[in-house]
Amino acid sequence: MTARHDQIPETALAWSREGRGAALATVVETWGSAPRQAGSQLVVSGAGEMMGSVSGGCVEGTVVLEAEAAIADGQSRLLTFGVSDENAFAVGLACGGTIRVLVEPVGGAGGIAQEMLSDLVAARAQRRACAYEVDLQSWQRHLIFSDKADEDLRDRFRADRSGPEGERFIAIHNPGLRLIVVGAVHIAQALLPMARLAGYDPVLIDPREAFGSDLRFPGEEILHDWPDEAMAALKPDARTAVVTLTHDAKLDDPAIMAALGSACFYLGCLGSTRTHAKRLERLRAAGLSEAQLSRIHAPVGLNIGAKTPAEIAVSVLAQMTDVLRRG
């Protein structure tokens, strides 16, 4: 299995199934200055192997020791590290703060059952939003899917916000972020690698093979289908952003209509105000409603005075982030 920092539950399940033992360490709550947010995870094997992070420093050493102990005794534990701890500076809490870390073995009387972890991993693979809830007193655990969530939990899904709620800890497992870019143009050459650094899994669509070539986009996933066909196969969901960059109505418009028929959280379209006005006329004629058209961000990107392709890519990624995090 390829080691990836965002595959922590998957790694824990694999190590457990291989008989190596595994424990998950999860940031439950932070106060003050802390380098990792609630929900950040570290997995430790019975041999002391580790992947992921719960802090910016040597608190990992203590967490690994506690994880090995949890694997041995089958019991979960809740650890607290504060500014008074001698490791506070290395933890990244030099400005004052506290971090609580939940350590759970996979299996054991007080750990997460391998079957429940398997269900969580399956939900992640299916891009099905899921919340993992654990009672920090009784150690009872539940998986709650977004379509069964109450309003408070739906708010957590929308905000990607893990954290405590009374005596419970809720870890949000949203599907990974995706970016679909239509148009293998110069802006796309800057946007795709930037988006990957920000946590997106990008896909480039352009039927013009001379534009969407491996030479111009090394290492990128490139689809040479027509945009409407590619979008139908990709099935944009609420964790997907779509950006059209071709200026060609034959390519952009089918992708825009497919995006507006989906739950994608962001749709941005390159073009001037005049170009966008003409675009809206075409889309209205095609039967799209004003409510649908109001979802389009155009001209694409935040108005930061961007001039170069890279600067425009920055403005697009910033707008995507703004819409994702603030709605």
- Three-class secondary structure assignment of 94-150: CCCEEEEEEEEEECCCCCECHHHHHHHHHHHHCCCCEEEEEECCCCCEEEEEHHHCC
Per the domain annotation, does 1 fall within a domain?
Answer: no
Report the relative pairing of strands 240-244 and 177-182 from DSSP bridges: parallel
**Domain co-membership, 23 together with 57:** yes
Tell whether the model's pLDDT for residue 34 goes beyond 80.
no
* Element counts in the chain: helices (H) and strands (E): 11, 15
**Domain co-membership, 237 together with 158:** no
**Domain co-membership, 236 together with 309:** yes
For residue 134, give both structure tokens: 């654990």
pLDDT digits (tens, 9 = 90+) for 203-221: 999 999 999 999 999 999 9
User: Which pLDDT score, from 0 to 100, does residue 1 have?
Assistant: 35
- By residue range, what is the domain housing residue 259? 177-326
Share of the chain above pLDDT 70, in %: 92
For residue 177, give both structure tokens: 């972020």
Tell whether the model's pLDDT for residue 105 goes beyond 50.
yes
Per the domain annotation, does 293 fall within a domain?
Answer: yes
Per the domain annotation, does 283 fall within a domain?
Answer: yes
**Domain co-membership, 79 together with 164:** yes
pLDDT digits (tens, 9 = 90+) for 126-135: 989 999 999 9
User: Which pLDDT score, from 0 to 100, does residue 96 have?
Assistant: 53
Alpha-carbon torsion (45, 49, 52, 53), positive or negative: positive
User: Which pLDDT score, from 0 to 100, does residue 2 have?
Assistant: 37
**Domain co-membership, 134 together with 248:** no
For 240, the 3-state DSSP assignment is strand
**Domain co-membership, 61 together with 166:** yes
pLDDT digits (tens, 9 = 90+) for 291-326: 999 999 999 999 999 999 999 999 999 999 999 988
Q: Letter for the amino acid at 153? A: L
Choice among 81-90, 109-118, 146-155 with the minimum mean pLDDT: 81-90
Tell whether the model's pLDDT for residue 233 goes beyond 70.
yes
User: Which pLDDT score, from 0 to 100, does residue 8 have?
Assistant: 94
Average pLDDT over residues 159-167: 91
Beta bridge partners of 44: 23, 50
Per the domain annotation, does 136 fall within a domain?
Answer: yes
Average pLDDT over residues 268-273: 95
**Domain co-membership, 48 together with 183:** no
Per the domain annotation, does 199 fall within a domain?
Answer: yes
pLDDT digits (tens, 9 = 90+) for 165-211: 999 999 999 998 999 999 999 999 999 999 999 999 999 999 999 99
For residue 96, give both structure tokens: 């004052």
**Domain co-membership, 209 together with 159:** no
**Domain co-membership, 103 together with 136:** yes
Per the domain annotation, does 88 fall within a domain?
Answer: yes
- Among 148-152, 160-164, 204-208, top mean pLDDT goes to 204-208
**Domain co-membership, 256 together with 242:** yes
Per the domain annotation, does 77 fall within a domain?
Answer: yes
Average pLDDT over residues 111-125: 96
Q: Which of 173, 188, 212 delimits the end of a domain?
A: 173
More confident residue, 143 or 60: 143
User: Which pLDDT score, from 0 to 100, does residue 92 have?
Assistant: 47
Confidence at 3, pLDDT banded by 50, 70, 90:
very low
**Domain co-membership, 69 together with 120:** yes
Cα distance between residue 200 and residue 197, in whole Å: 7
**Domain co-membership, 167 together with 182:** no
Q: Which of 112, 147, 173 delimits the end of a domain?
A: 173
Per the domain annotation, does 2 fall within a domain?
Answer: no
Tell whether the model's pLDDT for residue 5 goes beyond 70.
no
User: Phi and psi for 44 in degrees, rounded to 5?
Assistant: -130, 135
- Taking the CA atoms of residue 271, residue 276, residue 282 and residue 285 in that order, the dihedral angle to the nearest 10 degrees is 160
User: Which pLDDT score, from 0 to 100, does residue 227 have?
Assistant: 95
User: Which pLDDT score, from 0 to 100, does residue 85 have?
Assistant: 47
Alpha-carbon torsion (221, 224, 225, 231), positive or negative: positive
Q: Which of 119, 154, 173 delimits the end of a domain?
A: 173
This prediction has a pTM of: 0.76
Our count of domains for the chain comes to 2
Tell whether the model's pLDDT for residue 26 goes beyond 80.
yes
Mean pLDDT of the chain: 91
Tell whether the model's pLDDT for residue 274 goes beyond 80.
yes
